[in-house]
Amino acid sequence: MLTLLKLLKDGRFHSGEALGAALGVSRSAVWKQLQHLEAELCLPIHKVRGRGYQLVSPLVLLDANEIAANAPSSAWPVYISESIDSTNAQALRLIDAGIAAPFLVLAEQQAAGRGRRGRKWVSPLAQNIYYSLVLRIEGGLRQLEGLSLVVGLAVMQTLRESGVQAAGLKWPNDVLVGQKKIAGILLELVGDPADICHVVLGIGINVNMQSADDVDQQWTSVQLETGGPVNRNHLIAKLGLQLQSYLDRHRASGFAALQEEWELNHLWQGRPVSVIAGLNQVDGLVLGIDGQGALRLSVDGVEKVFSGGELSLRLRDDS
């Protein structure tokens, strides 16, 4: 399937005969693959008798050389897959295989993309960014404090630099535009966090997705917000530069040095919310976060602190 996309990605017309010859299949097999691209991958194709087939919009596939050329100072080794279960899962397998960190895992499509709390992350082919950066962490727990929030700042700044000026943060791991989700973050840890470990910084960004039937929450994409298609390689390069900058600051000064910046960009700062953990719910007013990245709430006039990857934060109806 990726071979056919590479033939069509230039946006020009290609005859069924030429496509079949390049793929080593019959014209009818080409026709079936084209139908699959349209029906299952949501890639509209023009069909003109006498001229052949053409993608409605040119397609830019992931390219490690193009990413490195646009961000040479953050050119981590890159592993690109056409389709895998998830980039985080692949990153964990590469850690087990002894691949030295840092390295970056990307995919054109995920069959089992994951968000926080086991949620599915919708991952259509060649439309969005599915990104997992693996780091080796030495020096103990201080290097992990507030790390997911630091990644959120880097993603938010990347989106703003790309024209999504309204991008903001939602504790702990989401980037929103208004009430619509545009990016999410999932961190996974391997090893001893008190000594030496590996952390996988999993990032999903809706880039050129314009429709999706099986997303269970409000969402948007960079293209929907800016009005035009985005080169994902350039966006990945920008993200790498922002991540390197924020990770360097975090490593040098700890999360407390970034706490104020994060609070200034928290869309729900000062708003009434509910923190939900299983069947338990606590209502309060968002005061901010502490030096470790935990959420500070005013609950009946008393400050309480909440942390943990299984918590869900929602705006209250009276907000």
pLDDT tens, residue by residue, 166-183: 999 999 999 999 999 999
**Annotated active-site residue in 119, 136, 314, 316:** 314
Question: Based on the domain organization, do 228 and 303 belong to the same domain?
Answer: no
51 annotated as ligand-binding: no
CATH number of 294's domain: 2.30.30.100
280 annotated as ligand-binding: no
Could you give the CA distance from residue 240 to residue 236 in angstroms, rounded to a whole number? 6
Could you give the CA distance from residue 257 to residue 269 in angstroms, rounded to a whole number? 18
Q: Is the pLDDT of residue 33 over 60?
A: yes
Question: Based on the domain organization, do 173 and 134 belong to the same domain?
Answer: yes
Q: Is the pLDDT of residue 138 over 70?
A: yes
Could you give the CA distance from residue 80 to residue 126 in angstroms, rounded to a whole number? 12
Determine the pLDDT at residue 120: 57
Question: Based on the domain organization, do 95 and 242 belong to the same domain?
Answer: yes
The one-letter amino acid code at 37 reads: L
Among 12, 34, 55, which residue terminates a domain?
55
For the segment 211-260, what is each residue's pLDDT rounded down to a tens digit? 766 666 799 999 999 999 999 999 999 999 999 999 999 999 999 999 99
Question: Based on the domain organization, do 143 and 192 belong to the same domain?
Answer: yes
Question: Based on the domain organization, do 75 and 178 belong to the same domain?
Answer: yes
Question: Based on the domain organization, do 15 and 95 belong to the same domain?
Answer: no
217 annotated as ligand-binding: no
Confidence of residue 119 (pLDDT cuts 50, 70, 90): low
**Annotated active-site residue in 170, 181, 232, 238:** 181
Domain count of the fold of the chain? 3
Range of the domain at 170: 64-263
226 annotated as ligand-binding: no
Confidence of residue 47 (pLDDT cuts 50, 70, 90): confident
Question: Based on the domain organization, do 132 and 247 belong to the same domain?
Answer: yes
Could you give the CA distance from residue 210 to residue 219 in angstroms, rounded to a whole number? 10
Confidence of residue 126 (pLDDT cuts 50, 70, 90): confident
Spatial contact of 20 and 26, defined as CB atoms under 8 Å apart:
yes
Mean pLDDT of 303-316: 88
For the segment 64-110, what is each residue's pLDDT rounded down to a tens digit? 999 999 998 888 999 999 889 999 999 999 999 999 999 999 999 98
For the segment 183-193, what is each residue's pLDDT rounded down to a tens digit? 999 999 999 88
For the beta carbon of residue 265, count every other beta carbon within 10 angstroms: 17
For the beta carbon of residue 213, count every other beta carbon within 10 angstroms: 6
Spatial contact of 258 and 150, defined as CB atoms under 8 Å apart:
yes
CATH number of 26's domain: 1.10.10.10
For the segment 270-297, what is each residue's pLDDT rounded down to a tens digit? 999 999 988 899 999 999 999 999 999 9
Question: Based on the domain organization, do 238 and 299 belong to the same domain?
Answer: no
Per cent of the chain over pLDDT 90 is 63
86 annotated as ligand-binding: yes
Buried b (16+ CB within 10 A) or exposed e, 268-293: bbeebbbbeeeeeeeebbbbbbbebb
Determine the pLDDT at residue 260: 97
Determine the pLDDT at residue 319: 45
Closest CA to 88 of 232, 240, 201: 201
pTM over cut 0.85: yes
CB contact set of 299 (below 8 Å; sequence gap of 6+):
282, 283, 284
Residue 314 bears catalytic tag: yes
110 annotated as ligand-binding: yes
Confidence of residue 310 (pLDDT cuts 50, 70, 90): confident
Among 263, 285, 305, which residue terminates a domain?
263
Determine the pLDDT at residue 42: 63
Q: Is the pLDDT of residue 125 over 60?
A: yes
221 annotated as ligand-binding: no
Could you give the CA distance from residue 10 to residue 104 in angstroms, rounded to a whole number? 27
Q: Is the pLDDT of residue 115 over 60?
A: no
Closest CA to 61 of 24, 16, 102, 8: 8
87 annotated as ligand-binding: yes
CA Rg, the chain, in Å? 21
State the average pLDDT for the chain. 90
Residue 296 bears catalytic tag: no
Question: Based on the domain organization, do 175 and 276 belong to the same domain?
Answer: no
Could you give the CA distance from residue 8 to residue 18 in angstroms, rounded to a whole number? 11
Question: Based on the domain organization, do 43 and 151 belong to the same domain?
Answer: no
Question: Based on the domain organization, do 36 and 184 belong to the same domain?
Answer: no
Residue 51 bears catalytic tag: no
Determine the pLDDT at residue 177: 98
Question: Based on the domain organization, do 145 and 85 belong to the same domain?
Answer: yes
Determine the pLDDT at residue 167: 98
CATH number of 212's domain: 3.30.930.10
**Annotated active-site residue in 116, 170, 232, 238:** 116
